[in-house]
Amino acid sequence: MKPPLAQPESLPTADLHGRPPRVLCLLSGQWMMNVADMNAPFEAERRVMVEKQLRRRGIYEERVLEAMATVPRHEFVPEAQRRLAYSDRALPIGVWETISQPYIVAVMSQAADVRPGDRVLEIGTGTGYQAAILALLGAEVVSIERNPELAKEAAERLERLGYDDVEVVTGDGSQGYPACAPYDAILVTAASPRAPQALLDQLAEGGRLVIPVGDRHEQQLELIVKADGEISRRTLDSCQFIPLLGKEGWSESGQVPIL
């Protein structure tokens, strides 16, 4: 996959939104020690992932890089896939579902520009990995998953690992989750034929929507920003996600609903 962003030799002076990058200072005390112990067997693999797969390909936001270096990805993949947890690829987590490639997780997290205290909606919980990254960046996360079994497992996993600022719910992600709207950022981890109006309506002023848009085989990862009641769009990269099923996504038959 070609990198969507410039590949700077040193850190830039501003992020995607014209603001200076910050460092991550979110972990402390006993929980940090527990995470360190949990991560120890894979620490080298995680650091290689960050340097070779992320930083060299244009991920420059230090808070995102540090979160990716901290969250134990191997805890979010099936036992049979653990040796591949930090490889440069998506991995299967069910019959149709996958956990996204680390690079894509980082691109989406960087583009969403998550700040401590932001309310963030994730569409497509999967195993909970992206939600854990968002929580470590300081967000209050609502994550919606269509598959009830995956949702239950993800909620239990996130609780066990100490990510208390994530609420996992089951439902049609293409409709968002109005109960907790508006959101400072929305990340969609499944491909939609278009940006669902329900998600645009649930964005706060200044809110960011990161979503793969296209057909069922190839998409463009888009950053959509709501400012002064207007919507602006920026294409980040080509990508390939499983389809977003639901009222404002794809139907089970593969047809785009007429709204």
Question: Does 100 qualify as catalytic in the annotation?
Answer: yes
Give the relative orientation of helices 148-161 and 129-136 as an angle to the nearest 10 degrees. 40
Q: Among all chains, which residue has been given the structure tokens 């139907």?
A: 251
**Do 106 and 59 contact (CB within 8 A), yes or no?**
yes
Candidates 28, 100, 109, 192; catalytic one: 100
**Do 121 and 207 contact (CB within 8 A), yes or no?**
no
**Do 166 and 139 contact (CB within 8 A), yes or no?**
no
- The full length of the chain comes to 259
**Do 12 and 52 contact (CB within 8 A), yes or no?**
no
**Do 97 and 77 contact (CB within 8 A), yes or no?**
no
Please, which residues have CB within 8 angstroms of residue 171's CB and are 6 or more apart in sequence? 144, 146, 177
CA 227 to CA 219: how far, in whole Å?
25
Active-site positions?
100
